[in-house]
C-alpha cells in the first residue's frame, strides 16, 4: 500500500525534518537539492500540489469541459502533481461525502461546482480546519471561506431575456426552460430573466420547464409544448439550446427566436440562419478556478469573488464570434476555449483533456 501526501502534507513533513535536524538524501529525479535562502522561496517554488474536483452532474458536456479546463490549467502551471476528480449525479449530501473523500485523499484545494449555495458549509468548515482551499466555479457559494469564480448568472438571465423581448417586438408568449431546480445558477438566471420580463408588460411567460441541463430532455419538453397548441413566440433556455432548435424544425416553427449559450452546435445553427442569441457562459471557468486555487496555495491572496461578465452573440456581431464555431468539436462544447488572463494552457491541451 502506498501513502500519498498532498502539497500541504509534504510541506509539513519537510518542516518537521528541518526542525529535528535530520538530513535528507539528495536525488537526481528532477527535484531541487540545492539550499534555499532564509525565505525558503526555492522550496516553495518546487512544491507540487494536489487539486480535487467535485462535480455532481455526470454526462453533461459543459461539465466535462469544465473538468478538462481544470486539468489543462493544472498541467500548464507546472505546479500540480495530481488532479483527483469526483464525479457523481447527486445533490448536496452526495457532494459533501465526495468532498470529504477528496480531503482525505490529500487534496490541497478543491474546485467545486456546487449543488447548493449554503448546504456545503459544514464540509467547507472541515476543509478550512484541514488547511484545504475551496474554490467554487460557475455558481457561487455563500461562505466567507470560499473563493467564488463565477459566470455572472443573474446577468446571463437578464441579457438573454432582454434580447428575446426585443426580438419579439415587446409582446407575446415565452417558454422559459430552466436548469436544475434549487441549483444556485438556475435561481440566479431565473431571477435575471424575470427582471428583464418585468420591463415588458405585454410579454407573458406561459410555460416553465426544468430541463436538468440535459439536451435530450430539453428538446423533448420543447416539442411537447410546441405540439400542445400553446402559442409560443419566443424561447429562453438556460443553455439547452440546439436541441430546442431541432424541436422547432420538427414542429415547423423555425421562425421562433431562441436564447441559448455559447454551445458549439447552437452557434452553427445561428450561422445557418436560426434566429437566436447566445449568451456566453464559458465552461473554461474551470481553468480560471484552477488558476485561483494555485494563487491561494502560493499565498498570493486572490480576490474572494471573481466574476466573469457574459456577452450576447447574435446576427449583429457575427464577425466577432463566428470564429469560435468549430464543426469538428462536439455539439455541447462551450466555445470560449480561453479566459484571459487566467488560463495559460494550449487549446490542444484543453481539447485533449490533458492533465497531470
- What is the residue extent of each domain of the chain? 153-279
Angstrom distance (rounded) from CA 156 to CA 164:
12
Whether pLDDT at 136 is above 50: yes
Whether pLDDT at 1 is above 70: no
Average pLDDT over residues 141-163: 96
Whether pLDDT at 117 is above 70: yes
Q: What is the pLDDT of residue 239?
A: 93
State the first-to-last Cα distance of the chain, in angstroms, to the nearest integer. Answer: 21
Q: What is the pLDDT of residue 32?
A: 31
Nearest Cα residue to 279 out of 180, 185, 147, 148: 185
**Tens of pLDDT, residues 223-275:** 999 999 999 999 999 999 999 999 999 999 999 999 999 999 999 999 999 99
Q: Classify each residue of 143-153 as buried b or exposed e, where b means 16 or more C-beta atoms within 10 Å of its C-beta.
A: beebbbbbbbb
Cβ(136)–Cβ(117) below 8 Å: no
Whole-prediction pTM: 0.79
Average pLDDT over residues 324-341: 93
**Tens of pLDDT, residues 262-313:** 999 999 999 999 999 999 999 999 999 999 999 999 999 999 999 999 999 9
Angstrom distance (rounded) from CA 308 to CA 213:
21
Q: How many other CB atoms are there within 10 angstroms of residue 89's CB atom?
A: 12
More confident residue, 44 or 21: 44
Strand order in the sheet with 258-261: 203-210, 172-178, 234-237, 258-261, 276-279, 312-313
**Tens of pLDDT, residues 75-89:** 999 999 999 999 999
Whether pLDDT at 120 is above 90: yes
Whether pLDDT at 202 is above 80: yes
Angstrom distance (rounded) from CA 19 to CA 21:
6
pLDDT band of 173, cuts 50, 70, 90: very high
Phi, then psi, of 26 in degrees rounded to 5? -75, 170
Angle between helices 92-104 and 121-129 (to 10 degrees): 10
How many residues in the chain? 356
Whether pLDDT at 49 is above 80: yes
Q: Classify each residue of 52-71 as buried b or exposed e, where b means 16 or more C-beta atoms within 10 Å of its C-beta.
A: bbbbbbeebbbbbbbbbbbb
User: According to CATH, what is the number of the domain 153-279?
Assistant: 3.40.50.2300
Q: What is the pLDDT of residue 47?
A: 79
Average pLDDT of the residues of the chain: 88
Average pLDDT over residues 22-38: 31
Q: What is the pLDDT of residue 59?
A: 87
Question: Angle at Cα 146 formed by Cα 6 and Cα 337, nearest 5°?
Answer: 80
Q: What percent of the chain has pLDDT over 90?
A: 84
Q: What is the pLDDT of residue 45?
A: 54
Angstrom distance (rounded) from CA 245 to CA 260:
10
Question: Cα-Cα-Cα-Cα dihedral of 346, 293, 342, 76, to 10°?
Answer: -20
Whether pLDDT at 37 is above 50: no
Radius of gyration of the chain (CA): 23
pLDDT band of 23, cuts 50, 70, 90: very low
Angstrom distance (rounded) from CA 136 to CA 70:
12
Amino acid at each position: 500500500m502506498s501513502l500519498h501526501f498532498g502539497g500541504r502534507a509534504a510541506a509539513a513533513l519537510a518542516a518537521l525534518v528541518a526542525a529535528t535536524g535530520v538530513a535528507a538524501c539528495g536525488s537526481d529525479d528532477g527535484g531541487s537539492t540545492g539550499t534555499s535562502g532564509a525565505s525558503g522561496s526555492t522550496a516553495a517554488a518546487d512544491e507540487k500540489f494536489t487539486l480535487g474536483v467535485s462535480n455532481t452532474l455526470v454526462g453533461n458536456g459543459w461539465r466535462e469541459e469544465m473538468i478538462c479546463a481544470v486539468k489543462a490549467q493544472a498541467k500548464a502551471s507546472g505546479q500540480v502533481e495530481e488532479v483527483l476528480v469526483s464525479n457523481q449525479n447527486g445533490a448536496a449530501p452526495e457532494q459533501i461525502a465526495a468532498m470529504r473523500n477528496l480531503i482525505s485523499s490529500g487534496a490541497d484545494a478543491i474546485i467545486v461546482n456546487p449543488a447548493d449555495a449554503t448546504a456545503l458549509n459544514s464540509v467547507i468548515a472541515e476543509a478550512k480546519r484541514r488547511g484545504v482551499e475551496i474554490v467554487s466555479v460557475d455558481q457561487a457559494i455563500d461562505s466567507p471561506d470560499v473563493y467564488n469564480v463565477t459566470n455572472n448568472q443573474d446577468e446571463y438571465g437578464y441579457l438573454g431575456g432582454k434580447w428575446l423581448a426585443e426580438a419579439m417586438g415587446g409582446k407575446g408568449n415565452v417558454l422559459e426552460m430552466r436548469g436544475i431546480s434549487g441549483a444556485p445558477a438556475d435561481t440566479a438566471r431565473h431571477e435575471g430573466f424575470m427582471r428583464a420580463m418585468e420591463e415588458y408588460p405585454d410579454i407573458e411567460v406561459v410555460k416553465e420547464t426544468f430541463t436538468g441541463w440535459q439536451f435530450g430532455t430539453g428538446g423533448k419538453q420543447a416539442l411537447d409544448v410546441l405540439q400542445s397548441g400553446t402559442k409560443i413566440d419566443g424561447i429562453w433556455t438556460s443553455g439547452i439550446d440546439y436541441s430546442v432548435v431541432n424541436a422547432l424544425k420538427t414542429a415547423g416553427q423555425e421562425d421562433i427566436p431562441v436564447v441559448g449559450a455559447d454551445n458549439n452546435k447552437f452557434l452553427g445553427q445561428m450561422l445557418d440562419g436560426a434566429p437566436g442569441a447566445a449568451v456566453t457562459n464559458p465552461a473554461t471557468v474551470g481553468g480560471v478556478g484552477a488558476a485561483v486555487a494555485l494563487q491561494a496555495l502560493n499565498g498570493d491572496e486572490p480576490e474572494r469573488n471573481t466574476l466573469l461578465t457574459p456577452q450576447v452573440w447574435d446576427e449583429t456581431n457575427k464577425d466577432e464570434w463566428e470564429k469560435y464555431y468549430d464543426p469538428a468539436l462536439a455539439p455541447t462544447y462551450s466555445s470560449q476555449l480561453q479566459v484571459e488572463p487566467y488560463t495559460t494552457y494550449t487549446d490542444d491541451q484543453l481539447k485533449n483533456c490533458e492533465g497531470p
